[in-house]
Structure 1
């Protein structure tokens, strides 16, 4: 496996493009961009994102899934923070200033990494 891919190349390619542009995307926008079929398309997308987080974490890479946020809060959903806690990357609440700071740190790491690896596939 190439160090910049995981088992979901379509998702990774989409998230990489967003990270390289230092952007963010909502769950609904990402589901539409990936033509994620329904029903329960957001839940199934969340499962794909969880696999992406686990793959990135396993190789010590910043979490591409950090660029995916809820439209209402501009933060990832609760499951993102629960997974960070499970992986030992974060201890704290899933909302509020501490969650915002943790997410900002993950985003900064992703953006900085992709600035340095802009030409990687």
Structure 2
């Protein structure tokens, strides 16, 4: 997926994820779209940005900050595309839904909460 996000939106996304990390809470796709005021097609833009960030984090050996973004549904898990991307970057190996995915996600969220990311990433 091609990345089409302005530098301003990119920096705002990183700031929102850092705030969520510091406060040790998850954010929904919808709330990020609203807070960042992403232009249409907002979900495609957000997905591309989160996948790009996932690739950057994986390359640096850092926990995947994109794990902090979840669906509003009862599962409170990211969409299946998150797990597919995590597979592509070599961080997750398994079914993109079910208990294994939920357990891996919970572990990755804990790693994100405990990690300190370098500034201006």
Q: Verify same fold: TM over 0.5.
A: yes
Match of 1:83 among 75, 82, 85: 85
Match of 1:95 among 94, 97, 101: 97
| TM score, norm. by length of structure 1 | 0.84
- Give 1:68's aligned residue: 69
What's the secondary structure of 2:37's corresponding residue? Answer: coil
Question: Does the alignment pair 1:24 with 2:26?
Answer: yes
- Give 1:112's aligned residue: 114
Distance in 2 (CA, whole Å) between partners of 1:41 and 1:28 is 9
Aligned residues: 111
Distance in 2 (CA, whole Å) between partners of 1:88 and 1:65 is 15
- Give 2:3's aligned residue: none
| TM score, norm. by length of structure 2 | 0.84
> How many angstroms does 1:120 deviate by?
5.4
> How many angstroms does 1:21 deviate by?
0.5
- Give 1:4's aligned residue: none
Moved over 6 A (4+): none
Give ranges in structure 1 of 5+ residues lacking alignment.
1-6
RMSD: 1.7
> How many angstroms does 1:34 deviate by?
0.6
Give ranges in structure 2 of 5+ residues lacking alignment.
1-6
C-alpha distance after superposition, 1:9-42 (max 9, x if no partner): 221111011011000011000100111112x211
